[in-house]
Amino acid sequence: MAEQVPVVGNVLSLIERRDWARLQRLMAPNVHWTTAVEEHLHGPAEVTALLQDDPVPGPPAYHETDDDGRLIRWIDKMG
């Protein structure tokens, strides 16, 4: 398996542990998350609401962080 950058590993670990409060703190208020079926989610509350009912995603096709290291963009791999 390819080595992941720390923020990706942290996000996936928090989702796996169902630690929604810490996951929300790791995301910027303006986070934009695109699912594998191209749903566009905006904001930590909307992202965690969807993730609570879905299986843990794999590493993203693309991600971006802000200057504080918080997640601002996540695009799941399609397919």
Radius of gyration of the chain (CA): 11
- Kindly report the CATH number that applies to the domain delimited by 6-75: 3.10.450.50
Domain extents for the chain? 6-75
Tokens found for residue 60: 């993203």
Instruction: Report, in this order, helix, strand and coil percent for the chain, each rounded to 5.
Output: 35, 25, 40
| pLDDT at residue 1, as a whole number | 39
Q: What is the pTM of this model?
A: 0.89
> What CA–CA distance (Å, rounded) separates 14 from 11?
5
| pLDDT at residue 41, as a whole number | 97
| pLDDT at residue 6, as a whole number | 86
Which residues, 6+ apart, have CB-to-CB distance to 51 below 8 Å? Answer: 15, 20, 23, 57
